[in-house]
């Protein structure tokens, strides 16, 4: 499937793109929830070990995710300008770039895992489980990176359906594999094995779907374009930094939460999984806005880009209302699915109460980050992420932790930072979109 997003009704395009993306990422999050569930069946320590691995692993793949989003914008712009040959050239060099990037990320990840686990307070058998799980996952980085890059190319042509389909299949396959490896006595490392198998299959299927688009045409006459590698890097650094800083931000939150014990760390891990489910529709809108704005920016149809933003925000408001209701009234039940530990449930519920108020601010951040990428003005994303994920959390949490020694203070401080960030990116994104529209006249 290949869509021309420069024509047709924006609302229809938004539904066509956002709904499959939302369903796909919902199953992707349920996939992660499945891992959390089976880790909880092993022990609270295994669950905490899985929680510790999240910021480290996310930090590695975040680079790939950000770079792949840059590729979506570059290829989408070329398609919007009706330069199909140039789009194919970008796509093919982008795949090679992604493969080389995966090698670098694997090396960095393997070398850093033990140190980072120790910094998060893991020791003894707790450390062994955390390192074993995370290092195993990192060895399969090539599967994750190429899946991101191939899907980014499919997104640029308006295909959100392929990723949805394979994520649904992977979810059910992962349940069976997790059950097999855990009951067979592999422990938390068995969960990592299941992840690598399903991710490899996802990569192969998406590549099969990519071959049915125009983006691999002329691959027999492939020409290496090193300046394009630099172009992808420069456009990819801000969104990559955004995601890397997000991982560091989770690391920082975990650091300030870890003194309160394994139960709080386990609650944080479960709470973040549930929060991801609530945010899935918002991520679907983010991807739809990026694809629509990229193509229409290339075609200089900025009114359509503005309409996409408006439609996305309205849809995001409904998502925020329903998501908040689910977290507030269903939080105790949802946490209880993963752990019977009373302390874990109590702290997880408090975490979800705070997150319920943050769904719409997250929607605003997602949409305007997509806009800045789509119009190829991504530099601000870097500074926003640096402030939101690292500078403000460290400064504020360090001060607050000296006066209010409770996990709830950590959740509230992070929530206030998210709200402030949404206001700033809303103001800046609107300003840049209006400016580029004015300059195009």
**pLDDT tens readout for residues 416-429:** 999 999 999 999 98
Q: Look-up: residue for tokens 């994303």?
A: 381
Has residue 5 been placed in a domain?
Answer: no
Band (441; pLDDT cuts 50, 70, 90)? low
Tens of pLDDT, residue by residue over 376-408, are 787 888 888 889 989 999 999 888 877 777 888
Q: For tokens 């920016």, what's the residue? A: 297
Is residue 4 one of the residues assigned to a domain? no
The pLDDT value recorded for residue 162 is 87
What pLDDT is stored for residue 418 in this prediction? Answer: 92
Query: How many domains does the chain fold into?
Result: 1
- Dihedral sign, CA of 290, 295, 298, 304? negative
319 is a domain residue = yes
For 216-251, the pLDDT digits (tens) are: 887 888 888 888 888 888 877 877 777 778 777 877
So what's the pLDDT on residue 216?
85
* Closest C-alpha to 65, from 13, 15, 116, 102: 102
* Confidence band of 207 (pLDDT split at 50, 70, 90): very high
- 400 vs 413: CA distance, rounded Å: 8
Q: Cβ-count burial of 415 within 10 angstroms (0-12 exposed, 13-18 middle, 19+ buried)?
A: middle
Question: Please, which pLDDT band fits residue 203 given cuts at 50, 70 and 90?
Answer: very high
Q: 2: pLDDT confidence band, cut at 50, 70 and 90?
A: low
Domain that holds residue 151: 10-439
Statement: residue 274 has pLDDT above 80: yes
Q: How far apart are CA 164 and CA 21, in angstroms?
A: 6
Asked if residue 1 belongs to a domain, the reply is no
Q: Of 47, 26, 68, whose CA–CA distance to 345 is shortest?
A: 47
Residue 404 in any domain: the answer is: yes
Buried (b) or exposed (e) across 333-347, using 16+ Cβ within 10 A?
Answer: ebbbebbebebbbeb
User: For residue 410, what are its two tokens?
Assistant: 């950590």
Q: Is residue 390 part of a domain?
A: yes
**pTM (two decimals):** 0.70
Tell me the mean pLDDT in the region 77-104.
Answer: 86
């Amino acid at each position: 499937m290949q869509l021309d997003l420069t024509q047709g009704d924006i609302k229809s395009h938004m539904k066509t793109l956002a709904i499959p993306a939302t369903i796909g990422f919902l199953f992707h999050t349920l996939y992660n929830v499945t891992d959390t569930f089976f880790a909880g069946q092993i022990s609270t320590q295994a669950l905490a070990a899985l929680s510790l691995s999240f910021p480290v692993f996310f930090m590695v793949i975040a680079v790939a995710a950000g770079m792949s989003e840059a590729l979506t914008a570059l290829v989408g712009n070329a398609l919007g300008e009706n330069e199909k040959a140039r789009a194919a050239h970008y796509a093919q060099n982008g795949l090679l770039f992604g493969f080389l990037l995966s090698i670098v990320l694997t090396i960095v990840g393997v070398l850093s895992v033990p140190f980072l686990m120790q910094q998060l307070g893991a020791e003894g058998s707790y450390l062994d489980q955390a390192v074993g799980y995370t290092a195993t996952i990192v060895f399969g980085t090539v599967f994750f990176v190429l899946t991101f890059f191939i899907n980014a190319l499919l997104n640029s042509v308006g295909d959100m359906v392929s990723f949805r389909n394979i994520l649904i299949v992977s979810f059910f396959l992962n349940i069976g594999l997790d059950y097999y490896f855990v009951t067979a006595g592999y422990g938390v490392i068995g969960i990592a094995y299941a992840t690598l198998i399903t991710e490899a299959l996802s990569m192969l299927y998406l590549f099969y779907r990519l071959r049915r688009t125009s983006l691999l045409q002329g691959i027999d006459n492939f020409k290496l374009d090193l300046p394009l590698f630099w172009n992808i890097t420069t456009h990819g650094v801000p969104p990559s930094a955004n995601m890397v800083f997000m991982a560091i931000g989770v690391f920082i939150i975990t650091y300030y939460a870890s003194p309160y014990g394994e139960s709080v760390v386990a609650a944080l891990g479960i709470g973040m999984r549930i929060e991801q489910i609530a945010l899935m529709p918002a991520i679907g809108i983010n991807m739809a806005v990026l694809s629509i704005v990229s193509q229409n920016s290339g075609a200089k149809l900025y009114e359509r880009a503005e309409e996409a933003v408006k439609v996305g925000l309205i849809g995001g408001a409904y998502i925020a209302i329903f998501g908040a209701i689910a977290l507030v009234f269903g939080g105790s039940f949802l946490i209880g699915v993963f752990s019977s530990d009373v302390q874990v449930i109590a702290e997880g519920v408090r975490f979800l109460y705070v997150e319920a108020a943050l769904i719409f601010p997250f929607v605003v951040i997602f949409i305007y980050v997509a806009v800045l990428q789509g119009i190829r003005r991504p530099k601000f994303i870097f500074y926003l992420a640096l402030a939101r994920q690292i500078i403000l959390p460290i400064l504020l949490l360090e001060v607050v932790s000296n006066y209010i020694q409770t996990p709830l203070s950590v959740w509230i401080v992070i929530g206030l930072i998210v709200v402030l960030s949404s206001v700033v990116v809303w103001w800046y994104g609107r300003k840049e979109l209006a400016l580029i529209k004015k300059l195009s006249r």
